[in-house]
């Protein structure tokens, strides 16, 4: 019985030692994991700081290049110059006598500082007859969307924005997001104004600035209030 008792004590002692070894190993692993976690946090912090600095630098470059504001250019030559300087460009082809152009003006002036990754400009069709013809612009107002010096899409009148004058700025923002000319964070599948009218989608492929044909209807059917839209 004494032998059995000694064996039991020896076994208990071994179990205690084994438990201690396991506990020490666990403590060592926990300590190592804690240290690794701290390192990971520091690496993520440094990476995030670098990204923020790069984004701030990019933003400063965009602003220095005219991004962040909505402004008018005076001729066709400037249109091409602005397209060369900016990867993303939205140009509003307008006419002073067209009321709906002023509606676009209001929304674009709001969106320009909100999306500095894109340049927002306007050009009078009366000052750019050659460009207007070559871009096949037949309805005023029209937004010409350019990416990397290629025409990506057109927004012709308000058909893509619910077919009404009181569309929201967010509706136009959504439509520009569909054209991938701005960094849109919302749901591209559902227009924010929840209109039943079709969004229009994207035009087929990027064509060169000169010689790009519009692939959407100039005027939507059933638009009774069309007196403020100029047909060319």
Would you say residue 204 has pLDDT above 70? no
pTM above the 0.75 mark?
no
> Are 109 and 129 part of one and the same domain?
yes
Do 75 and 184 belong to one domain? yes
Pairing of strands 119-124, 142-147: unpaired
Question: What average pLDDT does this structure show over 22-34?
Answer: 76
Got the DSSP string for 21-56? HHHHHHHHHHHHHHHHHHHHHHHHHHHHHHHHHHHH
Does residue 148 belong to any structural domain of this protein? yes
pLDDT at 62: 84
> How do residues 134-149 score in pLDDT, each as one tens digit?
999 999 999 999 999 9
Classify residue 28: in a domain, yes or no: yes
pLDDT of residue 154: 97
Average pLDDT of the chain, as a whole number: 81
Least confident interval from 13-22, 70-79, 83-92: 13-22
- Contact status, residue 182 vs residue 220, Cβ threshold 8 Å: no
Query: What is the longest distance spanned by two Cα atoms in the chain?
Result: 114
31, 116: one domain: no
Asked if residue 223 belongs to a domain, the reply is no
The answer to whether residues 83 and 172 belong to one domain is yes
State residue 33's pLDDT score.
64
Question: 58 and 74 in one domain?
Answer: no
Examine residue 7 and state whether it is found in any structural domain, yes or no: no
| pLDDT at residue number 80 | 94
| Residue 151 belongs to domain with CATH number | 3.40.30.10
- Predicted pLDDT at 47: 82
pLDDT, residue 46, reads 83
Does residue 165 surpass a pLDDT of 50?
A: yes
Residue 158: domain span: 68-190
H or E element: which one contains 176? helix 169-178
- How does pLDDT run across 32-81, given as a tens digit for each residue? 666 656 666 677 778 888 888 888 888 888 888 889 999 999 999 999 99
57 and 79 within one domain: no
More confident residue, 168 or 211: 168
């Amino acid at each position: 019985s004494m032998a059995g008792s000694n064996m039991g004590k020896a076994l208990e002692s071994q179990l205690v030692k084994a438990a201690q070894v396991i506990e020490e190993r666990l403590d060592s692993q926990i300590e190592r994991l804690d240290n690794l976690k701290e390192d990971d946090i520091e690496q993520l912090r440094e990476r995030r700081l670098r990204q923020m600095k790069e984004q701030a630098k990019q933003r400063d470059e965009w602003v220095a290049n005219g991004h962040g504001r909505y402004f008018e250019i005076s001729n066709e030559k400037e249109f091409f110059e602005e397209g060369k300087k900016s990867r993303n460009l939205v140009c509003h082809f307008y006419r002073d006598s067209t009321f709906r152009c002023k509606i676009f003006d209001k929304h674009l002036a709001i969106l320009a500082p909100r999306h500095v990754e894109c340049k927002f400009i306007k050009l009078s069709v009366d000052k750019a007859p050659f460009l207007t013809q070559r871009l096949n612009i037949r309805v005023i107002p029209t937004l010409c969307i350019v990416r990397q010096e290629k025409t990506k899409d057109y927004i012709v009148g308000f058909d893509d924005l619910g077919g009404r004058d009181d569309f929201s700025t967010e509706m136009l923002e959504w439509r520009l997001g569909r054209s991938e000319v701005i960094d849109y964070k919302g749901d591209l599948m559902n227009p924010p104004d929840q209109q039943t009218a079709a969004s229009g989608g994207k035009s087929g492929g990027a064509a060169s600035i000169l010689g790009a044909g519009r692939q959407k209807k100039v005027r939507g059917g059933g638009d009774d209030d069309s007196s403020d839209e100029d047909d060319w």
